[in-house]
Amino acid sequence: MLTGRRRPWRPQITRAECYRGWVFFALYVFLFPWLMGWVQRSYEGEFPVAEANAVYYLIITALTFLVFWSFLRHGFHLLLDWLPENLFAFVTGLVGAEILSFLVGLIPLPVQNPNLMSYPEQYAFAPGATVLILVVLMPMVEEPLFRGLLFSSVRGYSRVLGYVLSVAVYAFYCTVQFVYAFGTLDLRYLLLTIQYVPGALALTWCYDRGGSIWSAIALHMVLNGFTLLGALS
């Protein structure tokens, strides 16, 4: 059976890309959001927020390709060479993410996800920019960082630890911004990390099982599209 064939895991990211990637990772997590916030505050009213965010993510996506060019190119060849395996990883990841997300949604939380509440407003003001950012650009930036770099760096030493760190760091990254978002410290928003665990787990599985970062990017795009549709319905 084709899906039963497994190639041995090997690092797909070069040492130079790894060094550049960790610098880029730190800039993406710590500096770029602050810089974007400063620009928005400094030029408030002069540039539409949605369009400014789209330009920001277009620049970040271009930087991602510069940093991870050979990794992304190699991943595309792996996608074609191991297409059945990547399709299997994509489909099982999608089904698993939806089932786990449904189960997690049954857990009562003391706070609501600010992202889900803001998406309808963002889409109403700028539907094209919202779809471009959420469905296209963010997956193309975050998958090379959280799966291609973080998971791959640990996977060679411990597969379990690779999963734990990739899922935990990504889920924490998606929610820590809300802790200070409303002017006061509210640690309850960290409980929202559980909502991002199903997707992060599915994306890590998709990359690990399929072998190409592009299958994880495609899955991330679909999951974000479903999230946007759910927020708008």
**Each residue's pLDDT tens digit, 61-99:** 999 999 999 999 999 999 999 999 999 999 999 999 999
pTM here? 0.92
Q: Predicted confidence band at 36 (pLDDT cuts at 50, 70, 90)? A: confident
Sign, CA dihedral 174-64-222-93, equals negative
pLDDT for the residue 10? 62
Q: Predicted confidence band at 40 (pLDDT cuts at 50, 70, 90)? A: low
Residue 68 counted as domain residue: yes
Residue 43 counted as domain residue: yes
What's the one-letter identity of residue 232? L
Is the pLDDT at 27 greater than 70? The verdict is yes
C-beta atoms surrounding 232 within 10 Å: 12
Residue 54 counted as domain residue: yes
- Mean pLDDT for the stretch of residues 46-57: 78
Kindly state the greatest CA–CA separation across the chain. Answer: 58
CB 49 within 8 A of CB 133: no
| Count of domains for the chain | 1
- Mean pLDDT for the stretch of residues 103-111: 95
Residue 18 counted as domain residue: yes
Residue 191 counted as domain residue: yes
Per-residue pLDDT reduced to its tens digit, 131-145 = 999 999 999 999 999
Question: Which residue, among 116, 131, 24, 126, has the nearest Cα to 69 in the 3D structure?
Answer: 24
Residue 210 counted as domain residue: yes
- Mean pLDDT for the stretch of residues 121-133: 92
Residue 121 structural domain = 12-232
